Amino acid sequence: MEIVLRTRTPDGVDVVLPALVYAKVLEEHPVVADLELIDRTIREPHEQQPDIRPSRERFFRQEDGLWVLAVVEFGEVPAIIVTVFSAHRPPS
């Protein structure tokens, strides 16, 4: 698996962004496809919440009026970013 980003959660868990996932983010959500923005969202989220799916967590970060949402799956080591997209409102 080709990796385009390696980062860590605030709890010190290693996380990767696979190239295949990043390609989809580039195509479908280009406004949040900046690798440094994705890195900050995981390293320094403004909020974290459990996802509706087991073993997943949502990482939120607000920058320039935009909420970024990255979903991380913790079933593997390292954990994997499974999607990144923009949220038009803060997490609830």
Per-residue pLDDT tens digits for 22-55: 999 999 999 999 999 999 999 999 999 999 999 9
**61-65: long-range contacts (C-beta < 8 A, 24 or more apart)?**
61/37, 62/90, 63/37
Q: Does a structural domain hold residue 35?
A: yes
Confidence of residue 67 (pLDDT cuts 50, 70, 90): very high
Q: Does a structural domain hold residue 37?
A: yes
The predicted model scores a pTM of: 0.93
Report the C-alpha gap between 66 and 16 in whole angstroms: 23
Report the C-alpha gap between 24 and 11 in whole angstroms: 27
Domain limits at 37? 3-87
pLDDT of 57 above 80: yes
Percentage of the chain with pLDDT > 70?
A: 99
Higher pLDDT, 35 or 91: 35
Q: Does a structural domain hold residue 92?
A: no
pLDDT of 88 above 80: no
- Determine the number of helices (DSSP H) and then strands (DSSP E) in the chain: 2, 6
Count of domains in the chain?
Answer: 1
DSSP letter for each residue of 45-86: -SEEEE-SSTTEEEEEEEETTEEEEEEEE-SSSSEEEEEEEE
Direct distance between the N- and C-terminal alpha carbons of the chain, in angstroms, rounded to an integer: 34
pLDDT computed for residue 10 by the predictor: 97
Q: Does a structural domain hold residue 25?
A: yes
Q: Does a structural domain hold residue 57?
A: yes
